[in-house]
Structure 1
């Protein structure tokens, strides 16, 4: 395993247990067995490292193939919802403390904008997929893709938060049935 991969593995574990606000690059470098300058050779700053962990170590929307016109819309959205549920359940403990620190949150927002990341991207991706399906006539012409995307992603976030709230970091992952039920409730009027 190369150095970059070792850094990502160590960072993912530390961010899960300490959160982005309390985890330090020094701690991550030490856990990896590299110097801080070596860590910064691979990741320009802590935000780049966080974004790499979110993209490469957590299940997420980037791993879902949303190709318009392929498969059923319901199945595609169910796969997406399942990935979103997993992603949010694992990322909530990493990012939750940002909400309590307005200065850190503002700096994080600026960094995510610069790096092309952030929580708004999920809704953007899903809405674009739904617009493409709408153009193909596979969902109702009167549907609002952005509203549907917001509702689905919001429901996934809320479900993941409730699981984490009720059971902590050891909460079981949402199953496929939960993802399917959320999707069916939203997709039925679209189809």
Structure 2
């Protein structure tokens, strides 16, 4: 296993256990069995490491799926594609939420993290923009109603996925968030397309 992979594995473990705000690069380097200087040879900073963990170590295929979405516009089954996106988004948010939630309690760290994400063109908004662009292409192809708003549709679908991921950390009686992801994804997409499909 490469040095970079060992650092990523350690970062994933430490961030999952302690949250992004409390995880330090020193602690991550120690968990990987390296010095902090070695960590900085592979990653610019903690944000760089966090982005790499989410894209390379999170169990969801969401980042890779979103990267390939433009090529799928106008072909295949629209509902099936959106169900795949929704299922991956629920898994991604379920994994990412515990890691990233702690950063909101540290305003200075949060602002530094936001600035670092902006510099990289990364962050949660990138997923929504990618889905909106895909839905716009589908609308132009006539597979969505002409009056459908792709940005709003993307926000509705991903927002619902995020809510289910969030609620899955607080299980209760008859909690829909505990249902299988594929069933949730199917139901969310069916509701979304009920008002957005071409007449």
- Tell me the residue number matched to 1:71: 76
1:135 aligns with 2:140: yes
Residue pairs, 1:143-182, within 5 angstroms? 143-166=148-171, 174-182=180-188
CA distance in 1, matches of 2:89, 2:122: 15
What is the aligned-residue RMSD (CA, Å)?
1.6
CA distance in 2, matches of 1:166, 1:116: 34
TM norm structure 2: 0.90
Whether the aligned pair in 2 keeps the contact of 1:86 and 1:174 (CA below 8 Å) is no
**Structure 2 counterpart of 1:186, from 147, 167, 192:** 192
TM norm structure 1: 0.93
1:49 aligns with 2:49: yes
- Tell me the residue number matched to 2:95: 90
- Tell me the residue number matched to 2:19: 19
Count of paired positions: 188
1:26–1:172 Cα change, 3 Å: farther
C-alpha deviation, 1:61, in angstroms:
2.3
Deviates more, 1:98-107 or 1:132-141: 98-107
Q: What are the ranges of 5 or more consecutive residues in structure 2 without an aligned counterpart?
A: none
C-alpha deviation, 1:174, in angstroms:
4.5
C-alpha deviation, 1:118, in angstroms:
1.0
CA distance in 2, matches of 1:150, 1:172: 22
SS at match of 2:168: helix
